[in-house]
């Protein structure tokens, strides 16, 4: 069984436990609810997956999402045009992504440091611009992106499925996609075999930035408000979603479907604790234990396979 399959088994086990302990869990409404919540994490985790596959790390996603959402909010309020707002948000995210890529490849800075610097600059700009204010109250036609339905399915979930399909085809069946894996596995070998490493790295950070910008738009539409700190709590869950899904922090191994599984596990934990109304004092501990179990199932399974061989 592949690593993704073992993790899927983990998700199913978690679902069985929740279905047995809460009658509200296994309903169409709640499952769509879980998927919609997971889609918000997935959108940023998807962009991050490309970066981690190339053995990099994009720490600026939360800050980027915040600035993109605030910029989009200000643009919608100033012009009254939803499309200008969306364009501004995605353009902002993409620009930050390109800057990240250039910092890493041109200045040859270690990705962690370059992007850590970028993270503070983006926060700084956003804190200064927003000065503690909140922009809120958007037209219904914009808010459908976050809270609307199409044929009974929440729109963020449709966006998630679209990104999953396009992204998976890209990583699995295109040369560029294969090159990301190759760079992550061994950048030196990749370079020697003629892969334009620099350009591909700029591409993955740009993709990550663009996805943060897009996620910022969906968050804005979902929350109907933007404040400077909106992305702050999302960075670690996004990284966790990618890694729980089996993508290696050292690059070259992993997939977008893994990120989806990671996002669903994170969401299920909160959903389950809320449905069972577990006291806030116990929630962090239980979250930790379940995450370790979910991530550990793969290792245990592999050990077991080896011992039988």
Partner 1 sequence: MTGGKVDPGESEILNGMERNLLMNISIRMTSILMVLALFLVSCTKPHVENSGKTGGESIAVFTKNQTNPYFQTVRLGAENAARQMNAAVVQYIPTVSDSITEQLSEIEDAIIKRPGAVVFIPVNSKAMIPGIEKLNAAGIPVVNVTDRVLGGQIVSFMGCDETKLAVNTGRFLLQKMNGRGNVVILEGRGGSENSVNRVAGYRKALEEFPNVKLLASQPADFQRVQALQVTENLLQSYPQIDGILAANDSMALGAIEALDAARRKSLVVGINGTLEAIDAIKAGKLLATGDCDGFRHGCLGTMAAVRHLRNLPVPKEFIFSLTVIDSTNYAGMDVPYEQRMCPKWESIVKDK
In the region spanning residues 93 to 122, those forming contacts with partner 1, defined by CB under 8 A, are 95-96, 99, 117, 120-121
Question: Contact 286/273 with Cβ under 8 angstroms?
Answer: yes
Residue 181 or 219: the one with the smaller Cβ distance to partner 1 is: 219
Given the rule CB under 8 A, which of 78-86, 166-174, 177-185, 255-263 is the region that contacts partner 1?
A: 78-86
Token pair 């116990």 is found at 282
Strand boundaries in the chain, DSSP class E: 134-136, 149-150, 153-154, 225-227
3-state secondary structure of 194: coil
Question: Contact 111/57 with Cβ under 8 angstroms?
Answer: yes
CB atoms within 10 A of CB 5: 13
CB atoms within 10 A of CB 59: 22
Candidate residues 92, 210, 217, 295; the one interacting with partner 1 per rule CB under 8 A: 92
Residues 152 to 191 in contact with partner 1, rule: CB under 8 A = none
Residue 141 or 174: the one with the smaller Cβ distance to partner 1 is: 141
Residues 207 to 246 in contact with partner 1, rule: CB under 8 A = 219, 222-225, 227-230, 232-234
Question: Contact 44/215 with Cβ under 8 angstroms?
Answer: yes
Query: Binding of partner 1 at residue 48 (CB under 8 A)?
Result: no
Residue 124 or 288: the one with the smaller Cβ distance to partner 1 is: 124
CA angle at 42 for the pair 40 and 290, rounded to the nearest 5°: 100
Shortest spacing between CB 230 and partner 1, in angstroms: 7
Shortest spacing between CB 233 and partner 1, in angstroms: 6
Residues 240 to 279 in contact with partner 1, rule: CB under 8 A = 267, 270-271, 273-275, 277, 279
């Amino acid at each position: 069984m592949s690593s993704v399959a073992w993790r899927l088994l983990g998700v199913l086990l978690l679902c069985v436990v929740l279905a047995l302990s809460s009658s509200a869990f296994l309903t169409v409404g709640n499952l769509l609810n879980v998927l919609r919540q997971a889609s918000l994490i997935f959108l940023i985790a998807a962009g991050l997956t490309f970066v981690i596959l190339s053995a990099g790390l994009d720490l600026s996603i939360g800050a980027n999402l915040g600035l993109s959402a605030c910029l989009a909010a200000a643009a919608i309020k100033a012009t009254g045009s939803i499309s200008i707002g969306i364009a501004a948000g995605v353009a902002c995210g993409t620009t930050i992504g390109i800057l990240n890529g250039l910092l890493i490849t041109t200045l040859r800075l270690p990705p962690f440091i370059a992007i850590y610097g970028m993270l503070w600059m983006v926060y700084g700009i956003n804190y200064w611009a927003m000065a503690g204010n909140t922009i809120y109250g958007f037209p219904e036609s914009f808010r459908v992106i976050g809270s609307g339905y199409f044929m009974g399915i929440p729109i963020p979930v449709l966006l998630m499925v679209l990104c999953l399909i396009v992204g998976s085809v890209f990583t699995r069946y295109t040369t560029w996609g294969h090159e990301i894996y190759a760079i992550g596995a061994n950048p030196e070998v990749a370079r020697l075999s003629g892969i334009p490493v620099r350009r591909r790295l700029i591409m993955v950070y740009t993709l990550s930035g663009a996805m943060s910008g897009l996620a910022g738009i969906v968050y804005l539409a979902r929350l109907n408000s933007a404040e400077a700190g909106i992305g702050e709590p999302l960075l670690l869950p996004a990284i966790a979603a990618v890694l729980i899904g089996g993508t290696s922090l050292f690059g070259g191994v992993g997939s977008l479907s893994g990120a989806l599984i990671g996002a669903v596990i994170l969401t299920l934990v909160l959903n389950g604790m809320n449905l069972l109304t577990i006291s806030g004092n116990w929630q962090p501990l239980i979250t930790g234990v379940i995450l370790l179990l979910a991530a550990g199932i793969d290792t245990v399974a592999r050990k077991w396979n080896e011992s039988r061989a």
